[in-house]
Structure 1
Amino acid sequence: MFRNLNIILLAAAALIAGVLLFRVTQYNAEPKLALVYPQARVLADFNLTDQYGDAVNRERLYGQWTLAFVGYTHCPDICPLTLAKLAGVQPELAAMVEQPLKVWFISVDPKRDSTEQLNNYVSYFDQENVLGMTAGHEQLFPFVRQLGLMYALSSTTAEDYLVDHSASVVLINPQGQLVAMFKPPMQPGELPVIDTEQLLADFPLVLNKLKAG
């Protein structure tokens, strides 16, 4: 009887050790396509206008997690794909955090992206937690630069011009601080668009690293 008890105790101890090892490994695991900043970056105030014509400033970031990326509504590929992916995966990401999680689509083409245009574009994705916004370049340039992203306007006078811009998505914490960046996989011949499966795998690892400080 004692022998059987010892076997049971050893098996239980091995199981507990295995669970603890798994948790430690998961806690210390590194995200594959995400960069977590060693120190949270405080954002200077900014002034944008959302798709409803309401002002957007730094205070709008408080009390929520925010995934933000730049683009424009006339973008032929990366922007609609990124927006669709983030809108689709938002509920799963939101379930991993206590505060609300929002997605910000920041248009860097204010010439064509009016409030009405932004509203029609973002509303197409039918996700109440996705918000479109823009501003004049005097506000956009410094704000986008703060986020560690970029965009460049074409010098052409054609109406159907393209805008070069980053394809990464940044994460802002509920204190309005920039804390991480999610990068798209870079594969030859493929568009640099966020991989939702990888985002779902990396997101909790990023949160763990943020909690660890």
Structure 2
Amino acid sequence: MFRNFTYVLLAAVALVAGVMLYQLSSSSAEPKLALVYPQPRALADFNLTDQHGETVNRERLYGKWTLAFVGYTYCPDICPLTLAKLAGLQPELAKLVEQPLNVWFVSVDPKRDTIAQLNSYVSYFEQANVLGMTAGHDQLFPFVRQLGLMYALSSTTEEDYLVDHSASVVLINPQGQLVAMFKPPMQPGELPVIDAEQLLADFPLVLAKLNAS
């Protein structure tokens, strides 16, 4: 009888150890293409204008999660692909958080991206949670820099110019703090565009790390 009790006890210990090991491995899983900041980064106030002509400032971030990236509507590849992927992922990502989740497309080409142009571009995706916005460079430069992103304008006088910009997507929490960055895979000869499947896989891991910190 004592031997049977010992077997049961050992089995119970093994089961508990297995559960603890699984929980430990799950909680320590690292996102593959996402960087989670050790401490949330507070954003200074900013003043942009959205596709509806309404002011966008820091208060618009409160109470919701926000995925933001920079680009421009005349971008031939990275921007439309990124926006299409984020718009498509939004319903699935929104299920993973309690608060609403929005997507911000920040145009860094205010010369061509008028309010009407932005509205036409963003409305194509038929996604109410996707918002386009822009501003003068006096507002854009510091705001984009705060996000840990960048852009650079060409000095050409041609109308059909390109704008260099980051391809990463940042995550802002409901307190208006920058907490993570999702990076595109960098493959020779391929566009640096966010991998939708990898972002969907990394997102809950990012949330777990944020909850554990």
Alignment-derived partner of residue 204 in structure 1: 204
* CA distance in structure 1 between the aligned counterparts of 2:95 and 2:120, rounded to whole angstroms: 27
Alignment-derived partner of residue 59 in structure 1: 59
Alignment-derived partner of residue 30 in structure 1: 30
Match of 2:33, as an amino acid? L
Alignment partner of 1:194 is 2:194: yes
* CA distance in structure 2 between the aligned counterparts of 1:143 and 1:55, rounded to whole angstroms: 14
* CA distance in structure 1 between the aligned counterparts of 2:3 and 2:101, rounded to whole angstroms: 53
3-state DSSP of counterpart to 1:149: coil
* CA distance in structure 2 between the aligned counterparts of 1:96 and 1:146, rounded to whole angstroms: 26
After the TM superposition, which residues 45-194 of structure 1 pair with which residues of structure 2 at under 5 Å, given as runs?
Answer: 45-194=45-194
* Stretches of structure 2 lacking an aligned partner (at least 5 in a row): none
* CA distance in structure 1 between the aligned counterparts of 2:121 and 2:2, rounded to whole angstroms: 71
- TM (norm. structure 1) is 0.94
Identity %: 82
- TM (norm. structure 2) is 0.94
* CA distance in structure 2 between the aligned counterparts of 1:20 and 1:91, rounded to whole angstroms: 32
Equivalent residue pairs, number: 213
Shift of 1:71: 0.2
3-state DSSP of counterpart to 2:98: coil
CA RMSD of aligned residues (A): 1.8
3-state DSSP of counterpart to 1:206: helix
* Stretches of structure 1 lacking an aligned partner (at least 5 in a row): none
Shift of 1:56: 0.2
